[in-house]
Structure 1
Amino acid sequence: MSVTSPTLTINFLMKRIADFFSRENVILFVYILVSIIVGIQNYVGGPLKYNNYIIFRQSLFHLLGKTNLHLEYPKEYFDLFLYHPSFCIMFAPFSLMPVVAGMFFWLLFCSLALFYAIRSLPLSYKNKIFFWWFILLELNTSIHNEQTNPVIAALGLLTFSLLEKGRVKWAALLPVIAFCIKGYGLIFAALFLFYPKRGEYILYSVFWLVVMSLLPLPFVGTDYFLQIYRDWYTCMVDDHKVNFGLSVMGLIKLWFPAFTDKGVIRVQYLGVALFAVTWIWTLVKHNFTTQQNRFLLLAYASLWVIMFNHAAESPTYVIAIQGVVVWYFASRETLGQWAEILVIGVFLFSVLAPTDVYPASWRHEFLGPNLIKVIPCFIVWFVLQFQLLSLEKK
């Protein structure tokens, strides 16, 4: 009679478990389950826990009531509505639901949007599995705050997927939708420069921008329509003065307190210049002909838009983390063990930084005040910057 060794039994069980959690339907179920659990936690925690959802929800009624979208409404929620006026209309399906139902469906929508965006990417199934699991905790952080960032992240990935498939019309629409949520979502439109049919893409982008910008018009009339855009512009200008967030500027302000606010803002301008130089260099050198290099450009856009975003906060990092994962897939063959080390560092000190993995005292007294979450992502962006400027045409 043969005897199975404990080691073989454990290996067999581990393989079965790994196979189980590698199934797409199982991962999808986990994404749905996480959304439901977060929804229950937020609902039990009271309105303060789902305050952002209430801000989004009430924006539709403020729009229909022709009041300033960007004022404080302390009887309804705290903080301000900082989003594009068209977002009120896009969010209407969730606004018109009862609060509890709308909140749950909003969280499900955010999670499923990111899940299917990852699914759409031209990656091997093994890489998609890694992507789904690696970003899950960051997604959890974002939806705990009822934020729009998973949707913006998903729109960026879907834009890339559609450009890879040559579907210009829809690839032009998605960054415009992202822009009509938060302005920085438009960054993913910059990828069109590395694909054919650039003129067609620009025409479709202008068309979609006009269509999306006019969304509120039928509901408010021409007079108030112009006013909501004036109010939005004023809000965006004022918001830029508030802080420097979990960004490169935030790090500089922390590490070099002698810097004036104007000096720190110049760093943001430098970031814009770096982005432009990187894109122009890539075009001039024609270093975008391989899919691997285009993945690096997608990673750069995802990381850059958070690293140099004055309004970056922990929930926005789902966009940066997707950039890290994409960078890892495109770099691990060339960087080898260094890519492994950096991606582990991102997971330990960026993804896990705001979670209960670390004691509350660590989070509140060290990780948070010292912007530790920013540093690993910044290092990846820094490495990626040099990669893109040193690429050779293949």
Structure 2
Amino acid sequence: MNTLITNIGQLVTPRGRGALAGRGMSAIEVEERVEILISGPRIASIGRGHLRDGIDAIIDADGGVVLPGLVDPHTHALFPPGVRDDGPFVETIVEKRLRRGVDRALKTGTTTIEVKCSRGGEPEEEVSLLRRIERLKRSVPIRLVTTFLGALGRCGRCPREERVSSLIREVITAIRGLRLAEFCDVACGEGAYTEGETRTILRAARGAGLRAKIHAGEGERAVGSLGAELEVTTVDHLSSPTDRDIEGMRRTGVVPVLLPGAAFFRDRPYPDARRLIDSGLPIALGSDCGLAGYGVGSMWSVISIARLRLGMSLEEGISAVTLNGAAAVDLAGEIGSIEPGKLADLVILDIDDYREIGDLIGVSPVKKVLLEGSEAELG
């Protein structure tokens, strides 16, 4: 199917197939009065005066702004407070709430979400939650990337050394056999796993075909350097990296994922994004929201908080939730920018100028969303 998006007021996008770092994060391209031709799921061309012959559908952007679909590289599939996994009734409640969270994200222009899954309990509970996310992936239009977060510091009913062994022997082995996740994330720091335990878990995960991430815990020390040593894709929740951390991450291409909404809700210091960007690092922004119903539910709010509290420019914020967000889930070659050959994940906004995005807290400008070239039903 060939689809043509016409009457675009501004096409706003970063460019490339990898994360933009340092000053490159400001390199947003703005084209006015152009059209986008989509063939099947991918962008075929961008320009003016496309012939209408062979076009199956025309979408009128009505002079609005078109951006790449937003990427949220840090959410959690948490059970609602007080809910235990003890039967089909609870299973239905949890899956409905997760589905509502995904629907909310789609309506605000997020087309790809990384979902961190952890019960912090027994191995069978971890696998059960991962199975639910796998079922959800098959039944929603949005793209879900599953991460097993096997380290929140609660070691179930077994001693912590047994917990590490159990994660590797039972959970990671099951993930490999059932293909239940793309990434393994380990919380490293006070109240979570030590550096040595983190190495052990992530090396085992790598051996099982999973890509690696690190979740910086309270009192984290040298987590950035550990991430560089293990060549992880991202270090999330990074708050106070050393110069050695920064140099190591820059050298190995680690993407720090910053969560301004987490600092906002928990009344904690905001991460020093300016220092990281000025040091030449690529930054991605995540919501840290729980899909079952808490936190910052809109990436537009995340951009605004980053601009107001992290010292980031609007252009840097846009890069951080599009191309760099895609890089944080290893998908920058497929999504995150509007370029021929990439998947046509697009959002059409009901605004005249992209600079209006910087002031959107609690408001969504989204008019239409396309996922792989098909217009999504927003309800």
Report the TM-score, using the length of structure 2 for normalisation: 0.25
- Structure number with the higher helix fraction is 1
Ranked by relative contact order (alpha carbons within 8 Å, sequence separation 6 or more), the top structure is: 2
Higher strand share: 2
Higher Cα Rg: structure 1 or 2? 1
